[in-house]
Structure 1
């Protein structure tokens, strides 16, 4: 099985224009979709939704306000999934992903596998590389 990252993008104003009832329904659809993914075993890690505010730092170390915009689309969140192929991952996204129901899109990216020093995709041991480094420094 291979692991994939789904990056959710939508227009930066999508949720600002939703009435509260529709926003509530949208969040319920997300919770249902994520729970179904965990139940069926293809959902590895579901992120918390991202705010649209942020900073962008470029190679010249200039910092600008706001998210990186691509045609008004901003990254809204991500999940890690596991399935057989990139095509199978696309089918999972097409199947019922709530991001697609409001004009959004899902970018699907496979993880490199077996790269030395890299934590496995979907690992819930956040910060394990940092923790191992700190432990080694403490023991010396």
Structure 2
């Protein structure tokens, strides 16, 4: 088994207008999806949510506010899964709630 990083990208939008009930439903979707991966024994790390704040350091010492000044999406969180290969890791990414919000899941092998 190899470890794969699933990176969740979603459009950048303001959650402050989302109702408590909608946030609770969204949280449950995420818990159910990650729980399904864990039930298969394929969850290596449930990662963590990332703050919306950040900076980007570029070559030459250029620092910008961000962290996503060039794109209209945000990196929301990540998990690490165990899979035999990239295809299986991609299959595990199906059903991710980020996809319901026009987001994407980037699947990356972890070298090490």
TM-score (norm: length of structure 2): 0.88
Instruction: Check if 1:37 corresponds to 2:34.
Output: no
Instruction: Give the greater-gyration-radius structure (CA).
Output: 1
Residue of structure 2 in register with 1:73 after alignment? 73
**Unaligned segments of structure 2, at least 5 residues:** none
Deviations 1:44-73 (A, max 9, x none): 101221121111111111221121245301
Q: CA separation of 1:65/1:23 partners in 2, compared to 1, >3 Å: closer, same or farther?
A: same
Equivalences, count: 112
Structure 1 unpaired stretches of 5+: 114-140
Q: How far apart are the structure 2 equivalents of 1:14 and 1:97?
A: 20
Greater fraction strand: 2
What pairs with 1:1-140 in structure 2 (closer than 5 Å)?
A: 1-13=1-13, 15-94=15-94, 96-113=95-112
- RMSD between superposed Cα atoms in Å: 1.7
Q: Does the Cα contact within 8 Å between 1:86 and 1:110 map onto a contact in 2?
A: yes
